[in-house]
Structure 1
Amino acid sequence: MNPAEHHRIAELMEVYFEGLHQADSRMLRRVFHPQLAYVCATEGDELYLDLEAYMTRIDGREPPVRRGDPRDEAILEIAFGSPRLARVTARMSMMGRSYLDYLTLVPHDGAWRIVTKAFTYLPRED
């Protein structure tokens, strides 16, 4: 895929990371597809949510920034399957956990949007 598409996804990821750090559902709605599938794959804590249920959780969360959590994240990979399909592998730490996210993106309303968020987490090792 061309560098411009790669850059667009990197910009989307910046909004994603900041939205999670701020626990800002309005910001996160800018990056998620309306038909989002949210999947926690951590053993013993499996969870499947749609966009509205996930945004309700975000709205009820104490923002990591208010907890004093520093932003700690990285994009590990951006891969394109076609001009209409991309995948991002990312990691981040917040709220005492280290997360590994597999995000699937598709175009929606003229921009890339995260349509699936599948992730796992472990207690953060300090």
Structure 2
Amino acid sequence: MYKENITAIELLVTNYFEGIFYGDTQKLQSCFHNNTPIYGDIKGADYFKSSENYIEGVANRQSPNDLKETFNMKIVGVDIMGKIAMAKLHVPMLGYNYYDYLSLTKIENEWKIVAKIFTHVE
């Protein structure tokens, strides 16, 4: 069961990365549960949006791919316990050095992001 869950989570995170990197909002939307909260800080400034508002922002900006950036996003670690999991990700893009922590839950046999917190590290 662990191997099955880790494979499903890796696929979810791959879709998340590709949604962000290529500006694929449908792929990105499929990763989140309804109206997921997103909290973070960008160079000390507080950030809070719902996943819907976040995805709208992704739709209205140039993607890292369009800007000819190199894809350097990666999974740092995943911790699974039953139907919950935590994924730590390194998401460098658009001149930022982001680290994301995704709270995941298995809902109707499918892993979804139910909360995201992130920070930019100099």
Q: Calculate the TM-score normalised by the size of structure 2.
A: 0.92
Residue number in structure 2 paired with 1:51: 51
Q: Is the 8 A contact 2:35 2:52 kept in 1?
A: no
1:96 aligns with 2:105: no
* Alignment-mate amino acid for residue 79 of structure 1: D
User: Please, what is the CA RMSD of the aligned residues?
Assistant: 1.4
* Alignment-mate amino acid for residue 6 of structure 1: I
* Alignment-mate amino acid for residue 98 of structure 1: N
Q: Following superposition, which runs of at least 4 residues in structure 1 exceed 2 angstroms of deviation?
A: 41-44
CA distance in 2, matches of 1:77, 1:103: 11
CA distance in 2, matches of 1:69, 1:43: 21
Query: Secondary structure of 1:19's partner?
Result: helix
Q: Any residues of structure 2 matched to 1:1-80 within 5 Å, and which? A: 2-80=2-80
Residue number in structure 1 paired with 2:106: 107
CA distance in 1, matches of 2:108, 2:21: 25
Percent identical among aligned pairs is 25
Query: Secondary structure of 1:106's partner?
Result: strand
Structure 1 residue 109, shift from structure 2 partner: 3.6
Structure 1 residue 10, shift from structure 2 partner: 0.6
Aligned residues: 122
Structure 1 residue 111, shift from structure 2 partner: 0.6
CA distance in 2, matches of 1:65, 1:42: 21
Q: Calculate the TM-score normalised by the size of structure 1.
A: 0.89
CA distance in 1, matches of 2:35, 2:108: 13
Name structure 1 gaps, 5 residues minimum.
none
Q: Is the 8 A contact 2:84 2:104 kept in 1?
A: yes
* Alignment-mate amino acid for residue 61 of structure 2: R
Structure 1 residue 53, shift from structure 2 partner: 1.1
